[in-house]
């Protein structure tokens, strides 16, 4: 059983990193606005998703249980939107303060950030470079 798990893990890593750098085959979503794609940690540009970490956690923690519940909904939306889709990184920006490359991403030609905004699982959070142009959206209010 141990070998089967190891073999499956290697296979999943290979699939995630294959394809051209701007046309990856799959994406792993940490939450609704960030994850890993083609071996690169990323964050979607100019949007915010509710956090999925435990309430009060120092990094990635939700402010309240409502935010955490919404965070899991946002992540599920992004997984469904991108699973089996033709993915394309439409633009790249400088890394954020956590070292994640800030990107634009499309799935079957549809901008995933705009789709998340339209579905109400993301909120706008515009930035100029690494500087936020507004306060981080409130998911608990």
C-alpha to C-alpha distance for 110 and 77, rounded to whole angstroms: 14
pLDDT for 21 equals 61
C-alpha to C-alpha distance for 104 and 93, rounded to whole angstroms: 9
- Number of folded domains that form the chain: 1
39 in a structural domain? yes
**Angle (CA) 93 21 85, round 5°:** 100
Q: Any idea which residue has 């549809």 for tokens? A: 110
125 in a structural domain? yes
pLDDT for 76 equals 98
87 in a structural domain? yes
96 in a structural domain? yes
137 in a structural domain? no
Tell me the CATH number at 81.
2.40.50.90
109 exposure class (CB count in 10 Å sphere: 0-12, 13-18, 19+): exposed
9 in a structural domain? yes
pLDDT digits (tens, 9 = 90+) for 10-68: 223 323 344 566 778 889 999 999 999 989 999 999 999 999 988 878 777 888 999 99
- Between strands 19-20 and 23-24, the pairing is antiparallel
Mean pLDDT computed over 108-120: 97
22 in a structural domain? yes
109 in a structural domain? yes
* CB 21 within 8 Å of CB 89: yes
């Amino acid at each position: 059983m141990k070998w089967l798990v190891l073999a499956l893990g290697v296979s999943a890593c290979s699939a995630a990193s294959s394809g051209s750098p701007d046309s990856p085959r799959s994406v792993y979503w940490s939450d609704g606005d960030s994850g890993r794609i083609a071996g690169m940690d990323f964050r979607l540009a100019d949007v915010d998703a509710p956090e999925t970490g435990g309430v009060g956690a120092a990094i990635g923690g939700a402010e309240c249980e409502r935010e955490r519940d919404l965070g899991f909904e946002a992540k599920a939306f992004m997984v469904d939107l991108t699973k089996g889709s033709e993915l394309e990184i439409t633009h790249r920006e400088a890394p954020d303060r956590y070292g994640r490359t800030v990107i634009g991403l499309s799935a079957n030609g549809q901008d995933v950030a705009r789709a998340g905004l339209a579905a109400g699982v993301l909120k706008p959070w515009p930035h100029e470079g690494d500087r936020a142009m507004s306060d981080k959206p409130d998911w608990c209010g």
